Amino acid sequence: MNILRALLLVLLLPASLAQARIAPLPLPEDKGQPVGQILVHTAQEGDTLAAIAREYGISPILIMAANPEQDLLLLQPGERVIIPNQLLLPRAQTQGIVINLAELRLYYYPETGNEVYVFPIGIGRVGRATPEMITRISEMRKHPTWTPTANTRREYAAKGIPLPAVVPAGPDNPLGDYAMRLAYGSGEYLIHGTNDPLDVGLRSSAGCIRMYPEHVEWLFAQVNNGTQVQIVNQALKVSTDQYGQTFVEAHEPLTPEGLADTRPLDMTPLMPLLEQGVDASTVEQVIQQQQGLPQLVGQLY
């Protein structure tokens, strides 16, 4: 899957007027089982990848990865599109907010402990990568102003767009209507909305995490100062359920230096499974396909 091609295709698509779905995924009693279900969308006249991605709340890149044989730029009425709404949970504490950079997803675990909300996000672009961290929300702001750095003002000026020292709240503010500052570093990283929904699902920010406006508004109402935030970068996710069924989910790895990492995936999570007899060729095929869907690769017992 060529991520650069995916980005170019998405940028050519018009923004969706539909609102993204907000619905929890129940957590199974057996935490080794995949969460959610694979959905199928039947294209209607006028459907676009951007519209479908926003309607289902799934990154356009993940939809393209799940449909490698289709040209989603030229959707035809009646065409069936796999919506990858099934997943394995990242290796992290199941509390607060968990962000997995490699799959461009944010997970929110309510205190009830029996469900999870999953949202697509935009993350830091090349050279401005979002770092891995364990931190917390330190400030919450509705209708925030934006104070661009000197470097950011120079970048905009080079494009012929002069920026004021402080951008007021409103439709021209790239933070959108809601922002949650993280305590990491000097507080330069935020989870926030956007005035350009096409940025969601891409590496396009200066390091912050961008969400659809309706998603960030909902999340803002659920969390508080002090809510834990874990940011990981796991292109390979593995789980085994109580019956010994082993699942692998592989995404195209991302690095700070470029759009994709051509180095082999970290196989550490798979080593105990391979040692116990999971078929290595099946695992290798799933990793090479990088479809971002949980695949059953074997039975341990």
Catalytic residues: 192, 208
Residues 6+ apart with CB under 8 A from 273: 238, 240, 246, 283, 297, 298, 300
- At residue 204's C-alpha, the angle toward residues 198 and 206, to 5°, is 135
Backbone CA torsion sign across 32, 233, 214, 229: positive
What's the distance, CA 110 to chain centroid? 18
Burial class, 169, CB count within 10 angstroms (exposed 0-12 / middle 13-18 / buried 19+): middle
Q: How far apart are alpha carbons 249 and 238 in whole angstroms?
A: 6
Are the beta carbons of 181 and 156 closer than 8 angstroms?
no
